[in-house]
Structure 1
């Protein structure tokens, strides 16, 4: 009987290896590239031609859609209220775009869908005591829950005072509602109206001026209005030069450069 460990042996390995390879290839296609198709499948499948951006009928490159502009936490009604409220807090004017154009509502939505919305890095266990006004909310509610309550109460107050939802109000009426929350004219039981307004306002400003990598400050227009240079890796090339304005740079620019 031939030794299978020697060349010209039983040929068992020669039979098994191709079938095993065939199985892996088929498995890679079957799971849609989740595990085998992504990690191992790329090694055993022939490489595909690099895809390019779609072309328009005139031969120019079509604009790439921003699929990051989609709600991850808010429903459509909540997103409409946040969009209207943030635009009144940070409206478009001669200086530049407002919250809507900067993508602020989606920035807030994505933050609430992540660790910030869950208060995941904060101590959230009892006992809870009423804190000073400067300390903000002291309790078990997470930020995402506070936003849900605040938006619902914003809508309820708008319906009670103007018989319309907040998003359908005239800008002056929306300002009146927001000021009523800011001054604690509106009395809430679970959270303070002013506490919710402050959280909404600070989130709006963060969305307008944070790095575009996080979903707001579209095209760095928030920075451009302030002549802020953004996230520069170094100033060595301009430190000895006479300059007044530096073109802003995002973290995304540096990621794509490497």
Structure 2
């Protein structure tokens, strides 16, 4: 693992252009709720012919179209790319974390106040708040945002987003962040902020929630996780490198 005190030269140009940095440790959203009919694609197209050759213990709960999911994979990897410090979003299972959250109450804004008035104009809102004031829920915002990214890629570069080269992907992501991609549910910079937040959560949440695979996100931060006690190290003067512990480690196996 690279020295954390030195600047990593391997970050993608997208990060340099937009100033995105994955921040500190953030927790996962609470899981809950059930799949609802509103998440079923209005598109009756068949699943992509591409084969999903991922771990057999992983299954998509929200994204019933594989072509939407691969856009999500590439978008999260741009926000949190693999480099000398450790794995990127795809290896950390960030896309599966987001899929789980969207399939639960977070995806339907189940715990949010959902009565009007809704914001008719988002110009005076910060990007981080725009999705919160949208009429549509997070699930619908994600579906529209990812599909608009794919349509934009096909229109500009005659290829799908996941097949575009790094410069082309970065161009679309930068336009998304700047609010230049046409969307109906929320301005695209609001969707970008939501996507960035969910990506960071998936990279640093407890693996219980489906992301941070093998706790490698925590290892990049030297974060010890859900330790039961620090009694043995609390009085030590030097930094103690502890093997991280997940909440799943406390679950009894039958």
Fold in common (TM above 0.5): yes
Moved more, 85-94 or 231-240: 231-240
Deviation at 1:139, TM superposition (A): 2.7
TM-score scaled to structure 1, two decimals?
Answer: 0.71
Q: Higher helix share goes to which structure? A: 1
Q: CA RMSD in A?
A: 1.9
Q: Which residue is equivalent to 2:69?
A: 79
Give the match for residue 117 of structure 1: 107
Report 1:134-173 matches (<5 A). Answer: 134=126, 135-137=129-131, 138-173=133-168
Q: Greater RCO between the two (CA within 8 Å, min separation 6)?
A: 2
Q: Do the aligned residues in 2 keep the contact of 1:180 with 1:186 (CA within 8 Å)?
A: yes
Kindly tell me the number of residue pairs found equivalent between the two proteins: 194
Query: Conserved in 1, the CA contact under 8 Å of 2:130 and 2:186?
Result: no
Q: How does 1:129-208 map to 2 (within 5 A)?
A: 129=119, 130-131=121-122, 132-134=124-126, 135-137=129-131, 138-208=133-203
For residue 91 of structure 1, report the CA deviation from its aligned partner.
0.7
Kindly indicate whether the alpha-carbon contact (under 8 Å) linking 2:154 and 2:160 is maintained by their aligned counterparts in 1. Answer: yes
Q: Secondary structure at the match of 2:197?
A: helix
Give structure 1 stretches of 5+ with no counterpart: 1-64
CA distance in 2, matches of 1:99, 1:106: 10
Asked if the contact 1:124/1:139 (under 8 Å) is kept, the reply is no
Question: Counterpart in 2 of 1:19?
Answer: none
1:248 and 2:244 matched = yes
Offset at 1:189?
Answer: 3.2
Select 1:101's aligned residue among 84, 91, 102.
91
Contact 1:68 1:215 in 2 (8 A): no
Q: Which has the higher Rg, Structure 1 or Structure 2? A: 1
The SS at the match of 2:91 is: helix
Distance 1:190 1:212 in 2: 31
